[in-house]
Amino acid sequence: MTFRYHRSYIGGLQAVILDWAGTTVDFGSFAPTAVFVRLFERHGVTITPTHARSGMGLMKKDHLRAILQQPAVRTAWQTAHGAPPTDADVDRLYADFEPLQIDVVADYAQPIPGLLDTVAFIRSRGWKIGTTTGYTRPMMEALAQAARTAGYVPDAILTPSDVPAGRPYPWMCYRLAIDLQIYPMAAMVKVGDTVPDIEEGLNAGMWTVGVALTGNMVGLSEAELARLSAEEVAALRREVSARFFAAGAHYVIDSIADLPKVLEQIDARVRNGESP
């Protein structure tokens, strides 16, 4: 006789892994965008904030490559420099980018409304809080210090500098599982405002939650979003949600303030034996 055995984890959630810009701090994810625009200006190329947002969520050198791959940016670069952008150009841009980002990142550490209440909810359930990011370790140290002053202190912080590769690879999430001493991966939830956030979580075998309105995909400040009509906000929500679900997200929320109710739903599903 032939048998197949299957076991299901039913212990509930143990940890929540949060992104930074656009998810927990920096409403609209403006810190990277502003620096990329300024960086390209220094190199004789004008790009728009929309160009700068292409590749958001990736490790910053990969983000630079994504910007340069856009036809309009490649054409502008070739016009300014007489040749298409090369890997050597990426290296030069990145060398200039990091100090620029470190200089300004702490100015964008304001918690997104609802963050501290959500953190309190997570703590009340006994769950750990880890974070991943597209920022390097030096950038992250500056941001984390400013966020700490505002009252946000995760249990663990990982950056692409700490692992072989950043998003969409799962290495940061795996390292967080080790650092937080959490297993299985189905006991963890990844939350972020970009498709690479979702891909990172899925590749790690985690539950995933996309953040629609406060992050990079909408790219509006809190005041700008508040000026939109209900119909305009609903249209943005539909558009961004569709992109997240197409990427495989299990849930999509408007902002970090909405996360507790989704975490309760995921926790119930895990305790019922479901996996991502």
- Positions annotated as catalytic residues are 19, 60
DSSP character at residue 21:
B
Interatomic CA distance for residues 246 and 227, integer angstroms: 28
Tell me phi and psi for residue 21, to 5 degrees.
-55, 125
Residues 101 and 143: their CA atoms lie apart, in Å, by 10
Structure-block tokens of residue 37 = 């625009």
Total residues belonging to the chain: 276
Cis peptide leading into 184, omega within 30 of 0?
Answer: yes
Measured between alpha carbons, how far is 147 from 129 in angstroms, rounded to an integer?
14
The CA distance from 130 to 156, in Å, is 5
Q: Are 249 and 198 in contact (CB under 8 A)?
A: yes
Q: Where do we find the tokens 């997240």?
A: 244
